[in-house]
Amino acid sequence: MHKIDIELVEMTMDVMKYAIDRISATNRKIGKPRKFEELKALVGDTITEKGIGGEVAFNLWKKHLMHANVPVDHPRNLAFVPASPTRAAIMFDLVTSASSIHGAYWMEGAGGIFCENEAMAWMVSLTGLPEGAFGVFTSGGTAANLSAIVTAREHWRDLHEQNKSEKGIIITSIGAHSSVKAMAKVVDVDVLLVETEDKLEAQALQQTIDSLPENQRKRLFAVVGTGGTTNAGIIDDLSGIAAICEKEQLWFHIDAAYGGGALVADSVRHLFHGIEKADSITIDPHKWLFSPYDCGAVIYKQPELAKKAHSQDGSYLDIFKDEGAQGFNPTDYQIQLTRRVRGLPLWFSLAMHGTDRYKEAVERGLELAQIAGKLIEDRPYVELVREPSLSCVLYRRIGWTPEDYTHWTYENHRKGFALVTPTKWRIGNTFETVSRFCFINPDTTEHDIAMILDSMV
């Protein structure tokens, strides 16, 4: 065997050992960032003309670089929207990369796309959308929201010739995810915000529409509701919004990137009533469906409208659309041409564990939020800002300033103990700094929560 082959085999074994150790470890520090200058001093020049060798590079990663990251699946990482990919999904992510599948067209990636579509069919079934609805996996919620907004805009432009020369408008709430507003800039449409960070109610939406001047009303083409806000886990009045969108002939997109995983949970499924009337839905499996980063999804009631908006033409692509290459082409339904089969780890995990295990894991996240609420009520120095919603808990440390929250966050992070970050909650016209839990990982314990709260004394 050639020397290079021996090195590759040894490197493969090292990587596999690292992966096994990583996913089986039960007591890990949370990791913390370091300044560029510090990391550079530790590892030196890693990209050189002759190379530093796989063993040296891998050891630099294990000794220094890996510890400058915050693992999203740490049981005391309760900031932002963390993740908790199953061990099966992590291992099959390695298989996905090793298989070198181009997941844009059926002709090249039929086996992988078949698996993705099996997982997608299950996700679509959770929404209750009518027969014919389907979707594709994307790089995340931002790409999914962008794909949906582009589809909605192109459909609106096709309705009337004058729409092709108009700048469209969408309506959402200030509680909507930042990507909705950011992607509106990419699509070059205006955004009108309903002034509520709490539940977007049908009445407030209707009042906003009724207040529009005639020229703006003609430019309005879509409403974006939220199925679980990132900040507080709030679900908008989806049924009421859907009725208005139907009456006003507007596209109804639901951003359920975070909350969509809760559709599998019997205890809260009723809160999503109306989601089955959406024109498009965003759900991120890498959030609450236990997939590795990066894996989002966009689902359409009428996929043919997305295909009309996104399908790319080029002489070099004709072969993929030939009769002999017939099959589902994911690239036709979202913004990316080149794509990996990022839904493959989800498929394997679902196939291995079954959907009942997913239901149990999501229900545990919901239960942890309720447990946290009770632990907060039992402590005199903290109080709930609002009742827990889905797996989000907003609470305040009585008497603290914004600087106190920031110092506490950095101190716990520096110790490698926990990552819990402050956020802001709107009360009237003012924004108060508060603390926030978001529970995704079913391995988080009541003791973990108690220790974090006790560190605020």
Distances 376 to 74, 370, 451 between C-alpha atoms, Å: 22, 10, 12
Note the pLDDT of residue 429. Answer: 84
| Top-confidence residue, 8 or 103 | 103
Encode pLDDT of 327-378 as tens digits: 999 999 999 999 999 999 999 999 999 999 999 999 999 999 999 999 999 9
What percent of the chain has pLDDT above 70? 98
- Pairing verdict, β 169-173 and 392-397: unpaired
- Statement: residue 290 has pLDDT above 80: yes
- Is the C-alpha dihedral spanning 73, 75, 81, 85 positive or negative? positive
Note the pLDDT of residue 27. Answer: 81
- Statement: residue 4 has pLDDT above 80: no
> pLDDT category, 324, cuts 50, 70, 90?
low
**Cα 130 to Cα 170: distance, rounded to the nearest angstrom:** 24
Encode pLDDT of 145-182 as tens digits: 999 999 999 999 999 999 999 999 999 999 999 999 99
Residue range 234-256: average pLDDT? 98
- pTM score, two decimals? 0.96
**Cα 382 to Cα 408: distance, rounded to the nearest angstrom:** 14
Q: In angstroms, what is the C-alpha Rg of the chain?
A: 24
Ordered structural domains, the chain, with CATH: 35-69 (no CATH), 93-353 (3.40.640.10), 355-454 (3.90.1150.170)
- Output DSSP code: residue 77: B
Note the pLDDT of residue 55. Answer: 92
Encode pLDDT of 292-301 as tens digits: 999 999 999 9
Residue range 397-415: average pLDDT? 97
Look up residue 206 and give its two tokens: 């209707």
**Cα 54 to Cα 10: distance, rounded to the nearest angstrom:** 10
Residue 103, CA atoms < 13 Å, CB-side half-sphere: 25
Note the pLDDT of residue 3. Answer: 60
> pLDDT category, 34, cuts 50, 70, 90?
very high
Closest CA to 218 of 254, 165, 173: 165
